[in-house]
Structure 1
Amino acid sequence: MLGARTHWGVRCVSGLSSSELGGSQSELSLSLCPAPLSPSTPELPPAPWIALAPRHPGFLPGEQVTFRCSAPPGQEVARYRFYRQPGELIGAGVPDPTGSTRLDLSAGPGTAGLYVCVYWARRAGREVPSKKSRPVAVSLIDHPPKPSVLLAPDSLAYVSGDRVEICCLAPPTASPEWFSFYQSGKVIGHQPGNTSTWQLDLQRSGTGNATRSFSCTYEQRIQGRPVPSHTSDPVSIPVFPAPAAPSLRLIPPHPLYVTGETVTAECVAPAGPYEPRAHRLQRDEEPGAEMLGPWHDLTVTPSTRGRYRCEYSTELHGRRLQSPPSPSVVLEVTDPPPPPELSVDSPSGVVSEGAPLLLTCRAPGDTTQRRFHFYQDGAELSPPEPSASPERRFPQAAPNNSGNFTCGYEEPVGGRWILSLPSRAVNVAVAGPPEAPASGGSTSTRMEPSSQPGPGGRSSAPRSLVPAPSAASRRSHPTAVVRGARGVPVPWIVDAAIGGSFFLIIILIFLITHVFL
């Protein structure tokens, strides 16, 4: 037989045969319905308490809802049951060590409603259901609509180190109390409701390009509780490596430079994905001038001294990128040492061919470490290696040693050998050697008779014997040939001197024979 009755909104079925339900009728009756009370049964056990945690006025989808049912003290509780009115059984449990039991639900569609609980107390060997608890209400609320996210500056490409501003735009009807910002799903910051932006310095991990995804939410109060909005649609951007700093080098590399020298500054960009388009050389804090190539020539002057850096620019997807500045390089400037004084052992500067020639370079000051250079007509004398000796000797002067001589010296300054200013030029002339007498020459003797008779009508005896130089003797007379500054002979000077000597001898003979005798 099949019978039915209602207990606390639950329709109970009894009278089913064991063959129809797969079990005994007594088992079915125990599991589904309490035993009927006789007229002598005492009043039902007092109602339990039902508590809701957390105590939200409304629950968001997916949040956990916890019910706890507790019987009054002194009751021997056999079991608990939870119902959603008007009588839907949603769970059952046995007492825990505290004497109560709990039920966890996940808020979602169909969760809203009124909930009660009941317990079964043991009395006289029977289980008697209690009165139902006072109901608790569960209501559902939804997340506010999603915002939108914008990035500034808006660019086709970003590089590591760029600062971007994330802007979270809530719908016009929303009343945000807080904004939350996310990168690749992880929270990166919060801002109060009157500040809807967040600034971030982009970073790139690894050596390749990276993609960054940004989103946001806002929070507003609904039914007395703060409720986060749905998450905005993400905005993804590529992040490229930033241009690396170049290096600056000076060519030639010296610890310091001398005024008048030319030094080349070269800005070397590191190997990588970027091709430099322009370079800029800066001195101290000056902005510097932009160059099309990596090289820049500097003429060293006192104002050239300073600390130099360089940078380069490139392009990425139409965006101009500027590299960081290179490490600074100091350019030190000094003046050359003062000029020395050059002297020759012949004060007149005329040296006979074959005679020794000595040049001396005297440097000012008292510096033991010096290296000397000698030059003839602007060319350094061979060998070109400098010498520690301030003298240059020529054992036998030759015609090709005639010319203008100068000298200079080097001394160590700041870790570098610095060449002095050149000395004043000294002119050296090498004179040729005397000519040898001609072989087979003869000298004739000519008698000079008196043109007047002597006293007493006697003929005058020969007064003197005057050697009459022949043409050959005159040609074979030793004559010194003077050479000019370039070793060219000048014979007319010697001939004039010899002719003047003969003329003087003839005048003396004439005076002796005609005046004194």
Structure 2
Amino acid sequence: MKFIFLLPLLAFFQTFPRLARPAGLLPAPHLSLEPLLPIYLQWEEISLICSPPQGEEATSYRFFNNEMGEISEGVSSQSGKGQVVTAVQGGNAGVYTCQYSREESGEKILSGDSNSIQIPVVDSLLPPKLSLDPLYAFYFQGEHVTLRCSAPLGQKAEGYRFFKQSGEQIVEVFPHHKSNDQFFITAELGDAGIYICEYWRWESGRMIPSRTSDPVSISVSDSPVRPRLTVTPDHPIYMTGESITLMCSAPTNATVLGFRFFRDGQNTGSPLGNGSAQLPLLRMEIEDAGSYTCDFWGPEAVQEIPLEQSAPVQIILIDAYTPPMLIMDPPSKVVSEGYPLSFTCIAPWKTEETSFHFYKDGTKIVPGNTRSEMSSTERWPRNVFKIPEVGLNISGEFTCMYEENMSGRWISSPWSPAVNVTVIASSRVHALFWLRSLVVGASFFIINSLIFLIFHCCL
């Protein structure tokens, strides 16, 4: 402070002997004080002004304190008055006087003592304590925090003031309702900073402030960033019996102690994790369907802040499909080489978009590769697989299945019951034909012979 020079000056000037003052040689000056107040505060700036009587010249001024002796030589102002500026403190309270002097015939002539002025100095009030409620390392936007300024026990306080320090500037906040010892903040980014407070009371018509409290710091952070919830595999719809894994991932650099998963707002699990955590759903049932979200907590979880949950993930479940029915023509399941063969795959219900697939011995049949024809009827969800002329390689086990487009996902049905097909070679067919013809001819001959014999015997 610019008036700290006072104490060294006092010690310096006390080393000089006080000049003798021949009584009445020069008329006494008038000592005045600016500003004129009933009491003064510690380190408050004051000016002592020593004014010679009108018409009297002065070349120097001296100021005295009844406790400390001479305290300073005054500086002559343009008005011809002596002035000393100082900052009051408990050690320089007391009674003050002044003198002026001038040179005559090479001799310094002193004036008489001025009138005396009493300077009462009031010690600063003890500092209050500034506290935060709730007390956290940082606050999120929208959180409420109360600053409370508490005067020391036994100290009377008639009002309070709160200040915020922004850089080098200290600005009073909450200037109204100064009798309230609490200051409420709904945290925003602009509220971050260092805060101090003081209290005050009236004495001798003056507002006496306390020393300021120790500072408290308020750090404000953006609202918590949402975690990210993903599902593997990712489909718009699932079937009962399928398994999925939900993964909750915290924002980068977040300090995480654990995660929570929710289904329709109900906690379904709280696994520990560092950057992410998983919730497996194995062989899902219909009751596993719902809207899933997740959140996380860190070391500051005691803050009781409203955590931001992830965007919801909808898990839609349907019951497993009924297998289709596979019909063969001819129904005997035996067909001769070179003859036509067809299979009809029929779904149990009608949907807007259905796709059918046929398999032989577990391998999917691609239309066109086996001289086949596929056609769908619009009347009912069915598909016909035709083979105009079968070969011996067609023998085997045939099945079919269908797929439905459900919200963009093709869902497969189970396989139909298998149909085993046997193909008979053409040479074998001819042999069987002649054998059958021979058997039929022989039978016809025997029957006719028996009829002839019976007819003639009876006659």
TM-score under structure 2 normalisation?
A: 0.63
- The one of 88, 108, 117 equivalent to 1:136 is 117
Shift of 1:421: 4.4
**Which structure has the higher relative contact order (CA within 8 Å, separation 6+)?**
2
- The one of 286, 289, 298 equivalent to 2:268 is 289
Q: 1:130 to 1:220 in 2, by over 3 A?
A: same
Shift of 1:501: 6.5
- The one of 250, 254, 260 equivalent to 1:280 is 260
Superposition map of 1:462-501 within 5 A? 478-479=431-432
Shift of 1:115: 3.4
Q: 1:93 to 1:234 in 2, by over 3 A?
A: closer
Superposition map of 1:82-481 within 5 A? 83-84=63-64, 88=70, 90-96=72-78, 100=81, 102-116=83-97, 134-148=115-129, 158=137, 161=140, 167-180=148-161, 195-197=180-182, 217-231=198-212, 245-254=226-235, 256-260=236-240, 261-269=242-250, 272=253, 274=255, 276-277=257-258, 279-284=259-264, 286-292=265-271, 294-298=277-281, 299=284, 301=286, 304-306=289-291, 308-314=292-298, 324-331=307-314, 333=316, 346=329, 348=331, 350-355=333-338, 356-359=340-343, 372-375=356-359, 379=362, 381=364, 392=385, 396-398=390-392, 401-403=395-397, 405-411=399-405, 414=407, 416-419=408-411, 421=413, 427=419, 429-433=421-425, 436=428, 478-479=431-432
Q: Are the equivalent residues in 2 in contact too, given 1:179–1:217 (CA < 8 A)?
A: yes
Q: 1:71 to 1:389 in 2, by over 3 A?
A: farther
Task: Tell me how far apart the structure 2 counterparts of residues 65 and 130 of structure 1 sit (CA, whole Å).
Answer: 24
Aligned residue number for residue 451 of structure 2: 511
Q: Are the equivalent residues in 1 in contact too, given 2:404–2:412 (CA < 8 A)?
A: yes
Shift of 1:352: 1.4
Letter in 2 for 1:90: S
Q: 1:268 to 1:288 in 2, by over 3 A?
A: same
- What is the percentage of aligned positions where both structures have the same residue? 22
Shift of 1:249: 0.9
After superposition, the C-alpha distances for 1:223-275 in whole angstroms (9 at most, x for unaligned) are 33222334556789999999975321111123x12343443211224565845
Q: Are the equivalent residues in 2 in contact too, given 1:169–1:196 (CA < 8 A)?
A: yes
Classify the secondary structure of the residue corresponding to 2:123. Answer: coil
Classify the secondary structure of the residue corresponding to 1:479. Answer: helix
Q: Are the equivalent residues in 2 in contact too, given 1:80–1:94 (CA < 8 A)?
A: yes
Shift of 1:143: 1.6
Task: Tell me how far apart the structure 1 counterparts of residues 86 and 303 of structure 2 sit (CA, whole Å).
Answer: 57
Shift of 1:110: 3.9
Q: Are the equivalent residues in 2 in contact too, given 1:181–1:214 (CA < 8 A)?
A: yes
Letter in 1 for 2:295: E
Task: Tell me how far apart the structure 2 counterparts of residues 426 and 290 of structure 1 sit (CA, whole Å).
Answer: 43
Aligned residue number for residue 10 of structure 2: none
Task: Tell me how far apart the structure 2 counterparts of residues 504 and 322 of structure 1 sit (CA, whole Å).
Answer: 102
Q: 1:48 to 1:122 in 2, by over 3 A?
A: farther
Shift of 1:194: 6.0
Task: Tell me how far apart the structure 1 counterparts of residues 24 and 205 of structure 2 sit (CA, whole Å).
Answer: 46
Deviates more, 1:61-70 or 1:326-335: 326-335
Shift of 1:168: 4.2
Task: Tell me how far apart the structure 1 counterparts of residues 261 and 443 of structure 2 sit (CA, whole Å).
Answer: 82
Aligned residue number for residue 48 of structure 2: 67
Shift of 1:138: 1.1
Letter in 2 for 1:60: L
After superposition, the C-alpha distances for 1:298-344 in whole angstroms (9 at most, x for unaligned) are 437498343x321234557x969989434304326486999998776
Q: Are the equivalent residues in 2 in contact too, given 1:257–1:332 (CA < 8 A)?
A: yes
Larger CA Rg, structure 1 vs 2:
1
Q: Are the equivalent residues in 2 in contact too, given 1:340–1:361 (CA < 8 A)?
A: no
Deviates more, 1:77-86 or 1:236-245: 236-245
Task: Tell me how far apart the structure 1 counterparts of residues 27 and 172 of structure 2 sit (CA, whole Å).
Answer: 55
Q: 1:135 to 1:392 in 2, by over 3 A?
A: farther
Classify the secondary structure of the residue corresponding to 1:478. Answer: helix
Letter in 2 for 1:221: W
Aligned residue number for residue 471 of structure 1: none
Shift of 1:184: 9.1
The alignment yields a C-alpha RMSD, in angstroms, of 5.7
Task: Tell me how far apart the structure 1 counterparts of residues 432 and 109 of structure 2 sit (CA, whole Å).
Answer: 164
Classify the secondary structure of the residue corresponding to 2:310. Answer: coil
Q: Structure 1: where are the runs of 5+ without partners?
A: 1-9, 14-32, 38-43, 205-211, 438-476, 482-493
Task: Tell me how far apart the structure 2 counterparts of residues 151 and 322 of structure 1 sit (CA, whole Å).
Answer: 16
